[in-house]
C-alpha cells in the first residue's frame, strides 16, 4: 500500500461526512458546482477539518483558492502531506 492512499481515504471520508454523501462520490473533480451541499459554510468547514485532520495551517487566501477536491489535494501535497 502506498502511504498516500490512507490520506486519500481520510480526506474522502472527511468530505463525505461534512457533505453527507457517500465516500465513493468524492473525486478530485468534485466542487461546489457539482455538489449542492457544498455551500460557503461547508467550504469553511471542509477547510477547517482538513487543517485539523492533517495538522496544517491554511491561510484565508488558500481557502479562497480551493475550487474543488483536486485543489485540496494540491494544497496538501504542497504542505508535504502525501495524498496519492
* Domain boundaries, given as residue ranges, for the chain: 3-78
pTM as predicted: 0.89
| C-beta separation of 39 from 32 below 8 A | yes
What cell numbers appear for 53 in the block?
485532520
CATH fold for the domain made of 3-78: 1.10.1200
Q: What is the pLDDT of residues 71-84, one digit of tens each?
A: 999 999 999 998 87
What cell numbers appear for 83 in the block?
495524498
Distances, alpha carbon 38 to alpha carbons 46, 55, 71, 78, in Å: 9, 23, 15, 24
Q: What is the pLDDT of residues 7-57, one digit of tens each?
A: 999 999 999 999 999 999 999 999 999 999 999 999 999 999 999 999 999
Amino acid at each position: 500500500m502506498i502511504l498516500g492512499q490512507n490520506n486519500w481515504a481520510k480526506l474522502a471520508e472527511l468530505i463525505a461526512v461534512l457533505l453527507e454523501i457517500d465516500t465513493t462520490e468524492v473525486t478530485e473533480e468534485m466542487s461546489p458546482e457539482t455538489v449542492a451541499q457544498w455551500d460557503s459554510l461547508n467550504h469553511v468547514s471542509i477547510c477547517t477539518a482538513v487543517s485539523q485532520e492533517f495538522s496544517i495551517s491554511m491561510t484565508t487566501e488558500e481557502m479562497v483558492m480551493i475550487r474543488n477536491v483536486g485543489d485540496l489535494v494540491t494544497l496538501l501535497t504542497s504542505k508535504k502531506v502525501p495524498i496519492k
